[in-house]
Amino acid sequence: MLKYIIKRILQAVPLLLLITLICFTLINLAPYDAIDSITTPDMSKAEIEAKRETYGLNDPLIVQYGRWVVNILKGDFGYSLLSHTSIKYDLKIRIPATIKLVLPSYLTAYLLSIVLGLVAGSHKNKWPDKLIDGFCSVGISMPTFWFAMIVMYFFGYKFRLFPLMGMHTIGLEDSFADFMKHFIMPYVVLTVGFLPDLTRYVRGSTIGQLKEDYVIVQQAFGAKRTEILFKHVGKNVLIPLITKLGMALPMLVAGAVITETIFSWPGIGSYFVKAISAMDYPIVMSILVLSGTLVILGNLLSDVLYCLTDPRIKTMK
Amino acid sequence: MKKRNRRLENVVYEFKHNKQAIFAAIYLCVIICVSIFVVFVNIDPDAIDVVHKLEFPSGAHWFGTDDMGRDYFIRVLYGGRVSLLVGVLAMVTSITIGVTVGMMSGYFGGIVDNLLMRLVDVFSSIPWIIMVTVFGLLFKRGLFSIIIVIGLFSWMGIARLVRSEVLSAKEREYVQYARFIGRHPARVMTGHVLPSIFPTIITAATAEIASAIMMESALSFLGIGVAAPMSSWGSLLQGSQQYLQKAPYMAVLPGILIILTVYSFNKLGDVLRVFVEPKITAGEKNE
């Protein structure tokens, strides 16, 4: 097992390097000059040149890339071009904020989808299925930000139940009640965003599982419908769903870009969008590397989980 | 020949007995016609009228006016032109790349297959929203660049799908015969393999339009998509965010149109899937 994991990680390294190389090249090809964000219009040409030199922007691309990779490996993500703060420090604050939002939402959606999917799949083409599946089709077609705006309008402006922005009221950083007030709207929006896809997935595999022989055997033995569904079918539906859990790991970075932006949640997503619009490329690159790493780790995790939960698969050896 | 008819019958059956599918087809026809012919309506979507700004829906302005007094209803219809255009052209881009890569990969196999599939892995390993925004920096903002960027990052699924279809199409006798008598690979691919996987491509294409429209609206909403003075449903929604409290009606119409359009394209894809995968869906109606 350990050998397999190590092998997989080693295979992933070139992929990750390739991703960073592509992104690095792309950013350097972009019709913007990184120096513009450091300098002010009243600086003289010599001053700008000096700045270029100190930031190492005159070196050949490959040298810049090499230096950057080595620094990342040392845990140094560099500095923001715009605010000159350490990216590592920023990430340390922003990653927990995103996790606080994404993890509960995803888990809620995950658990809800199992129940809804099993119910829909077992009542195929009857009214519970039509209701749940209809909700899913609409949910998939609905842009998250539109739903967020509707929620904001009703609960933020009209009924004034919840604050519209941020994670804490200034001065109340330690209050849990205050956090919950800020948390509830983005949480609901994100949960609704995750839900339709997962539910459809569960529904599909439930329908597939119900055609299997073991279900007929259980029926022949006179097992109850609910018992078959939750005890036997449920178990088999869970296996592919566990792989989904691993695949969801990168969501911790990119899962809430839009939701975070609209609610001004101080997480990775809004950090990324701000960096993109300011062309703050060290930040963009760090987030790229981060999500690339998470994708690879997530795939690995899902493979390992799959093998652990399904004894029929023995590809590990 | 008989099998083919049966498949078509399935699709027709599905259409007749699925109210949502009928609705989707009618809605799409209407929205496409409206988008094409809206230019003949004698209202200028850019006519500024500051006196009547942010007015609630009324007889004169069916969906009110925006922050510069422009008629919102007509602006939304013009926005639909952009959204649909981006959807269709991005679909064409991604289908072109996806089918090319998938065909080459499946047809040649071996090292070509390996290389191309690794490429697919690289492209699909970063969340699309991050990839697209980074790539978007490379181009000047505009309609063309959005289409290219969306197309460039949504072909991976199609490539995988086409590859697996080609792998099985390659084994058919007529394809093997064509290869045996020394037809040029390009001609075998376009003349023999492509027609047999065409239904799959059409099905994927419908779903692709839906996802391209979604991507475009998300990008425009984040402010990195369609730029003023052009507007799409996504950028209209972005604009309405500012006036959410004063003019909530501005958020309603573009959002509903996005939902209906994406929903309809998805539904259409589902119906067409009956043609491609008769085994999976044929059983459904009997139960």
> pLDDT by residue (tens digit) across A162-185?
887 777 777 777 778 888 888 889
- Average pLDDT (A44-61) is 74
pLDDT number for residue B109:
85
Query: How many residues can be counted in chain A?
Result: 317
SS3 content of chain B, % helix, strand, coil (to 5): 75, 0, 25
Say what percent of chain A tops pLDDT 70. 92
Residues sharing a CB contact under 8 Å with residue A275, sequence separation 6 or more, in sequence order: A80, A281, A283, A284, A287
Distance of CA A93 to CAs A81, A86, A184, B175, B242, Å?
Answer: 18, 11, 20, 59, 28
Which residues in A lie closer than 8 A to residue B244 (C-beta atoms)?
A: 149, 152-153, 157
Of B126, B140, B224, the CB nearest to A276: B224
pLDDT number for residue A34:
62
pLDDT number for residue B287:
35
Q: State both tokens at A128.
A: 């519970």
> pLDDT by residue (tens digit) across A251-306?
777 778 888 888 888 888 888 888 887 777 778 888 888 888 888 788 878 877 77
Confidence band (pLDDT; 50, 70, 90) for B262?
Answer: very high
Which residues in B lie closer than 8 A to residue A287 (C-beta atoms)?
A: 130
Q: Residue A236's CB: how many other CB atoms inside 10 A?
A: 18
Confidence band (pLDDT; 50, 70, 90) for B246?
Answer: confident
pLDDT number for residue B210:
92
Which residues in B lie closer than 8 A to residue A250 (C-beta atoms)?
A: 127
* pLDDT above 90: residue B97: yes
Among A141, A164, A262, the strongest candidate for a mutation testing the B interface, having the largest count of B CBs within 10 A, is A141
Confidence band (pLDDT; 50, 70, 90) for B59?
Answer: low
Report yes or no: B230 at the A interface, CB cutoff 8 Å.
Answer: no
For the ranges A25-39, A79-93, A109-123, A140-154, which has the lowest average pLDDT? A25-39
Instruction: List B65's β-bridge partners, or say none.
Output: B71
* pLDDT above 70: residue B283: no
Confidence band (pLDDT; 50, 70, 90) for B199?
Answer: confident
Does residue B110 come out as left (phi exceeding 0), alpha (psi in the -120 to 50 range) or beta?
A: left
Residues sharing a CB contact under 8 Å with residue B94, sequence separation 6 or more, in sequence order: B150, B151, B152, B154, B155, B158, B208, B212
Confidence band (pLDDT; 50, 70, 90) for B281?
Answer: low
Smallest CA–CA distance, residue B57 to chain A, in Å, is: 18
pLDDT number for residue B1:
47
Dihedral of CA atoms A99, A100, A106, A107 in degrees, nearest 10, equals: 120
Average pLDDT, chain B: 82
* pLDDT above 70: residue B286: no
Higher local confidence (pLDDT), A166 or B270: B270
pLDDT number for residue A112:
93
Question: Is the Cβ pair B129, A284 closer than 8 Å?
Answer: no
pLDDT number for residue A89:
86
- Average pLDDT (B78-90) is 91
Question: Is the Cβ pair B137, A261 closer than 8 Å?
Answer: no
Confidence band (pLDDT; 50, 70, 90) for A316?
Answer: very low
pLDDT number for residue A105:
93
pLDDT number for residue A166:
76
pLDDT number for residue A302:
81
Q: In the 8-state DSSP scheme, what is residue A82?
A: T
> pLDDT by residue (tens digit) across B1-25?
445 567 777 777 777 778 888 889 8
* pLDDT above 60: residue B285: no
Report yes or no: B249 at the A interface, CB cutoff 8 Å.
Answer: no
Which residues in B lie closer than 8 A to residue A19 (C-beta atoms)?
A: 122, 125-126
pLDDT number for residue A192:
92
- Average pLDDT (B124-145) is 76
Window 151-210 of B, Cβ < 8 Å to A: 210
Which residues in B lie closer than 8 A to residue A276 (C-beta atoms)?
A: 133-134, 137, 224
Higher local confidence (pLDDT), A192 or B286: A192
Among B19, B115, B117, B126, the strongest candidate for a mutation testing the A interface, having the largest count of A CBs within 10 A, is B126
pLDDT number for residue B95:
94
Average pLDDT, chain A: 82
